[in-house]
Amino acid sequence: MSSQPVQTVNTSNDKIKIALAIVAVVAGVVGFFVLSDQSTPVRAVALVAGLLVAVAFAWTSAQGRGFVGFAKESVRETKKVVWPTRKEAMQITAVVFAFVLIMAIFLWGTDKLLEFLLYDVILGWK
């Protein structure tokens, strides 16, 4: 028996809802700039209203419900992560800084050696 999820075909209603959500976002942004002579709270209300209408349209579509499911699953997976303690994080950070310092010194030394060999020994410019 196959355990692969079944994909459903997007209906035209879902496409219309997503298109209306995009139009609502654009309308909110345009409203924010068209109302430039109004006070900032009025402009902010126009922007937030456009975003809320867009969220409402997107939420009712299959893609919106899928996104909400994905977000919930992401939060659930994030809670399963074993985060390092402060001490472990500081130790790992110290190791990274030490490695970067050693690599910087190594690359500087390599650069100076190649500079000496190329300019002084081979070309004799200095």
Better pLDDT: 115 or 124: 115
pLDDT-derived band of residue 11, with 50, 70 and 90 as boundaries?
confident
Read off the tokens for 33.
Answer: 């700039």
pLDDT for position 13: 83
